[in-house]
Amino acid sequence: MEPIESEQEYAARVPSYEVNPRKRFNWLHVITVLGAIWLLFLLVSIIFQLPISGFVGPVMSIMLLLFFVVAGLLFWAMAPKANRE
């Protein structure tokens, strides 16, 4: 009895970030949106002369923390593929 030959090829499942490495940078849009919201808040406080001294300290501390998080995530996003030959 002869073996049945099939032309069906099986593709290995590859994570989506390995298919297109630029997808790793999509989360950067969140940082842009956060910056735009902060600028809008500052503009509204300038226009209506709202006191924001209580907000500035904590927000700047969070932004400093986010700076280091973003730096780490950028290193992750720009990392070369581990299985590159």
Residues in CB range of 31: below 8 A, 6 or more apart: 66, 70
DSSP 50: -
- Cβ–Cβ < 8 Å for 52, 45: yes
- At 62-76, the pLDDT tens digits run 989 989 998 988 888
Helix (H), strand (E) at residue 39: helix 28-47
- Per cent of the chain over pLDDT 90 is 29
For residues 40-54, give the mean pLDDT: 93
pTM of the model: 0.61
For residue 14, the 8-state DSSP code is -
* Higher per-residue confidence, 63 vs 2: 63
- pLDDT level of residue 5 (50, 70, 90 thresholds): low
Q: What is the pLDDT of residue 85?
A: 46
Of the candidates 31, 69, 38, 83, the residue with the CA atom closest to the CA atom of residue 56: 38
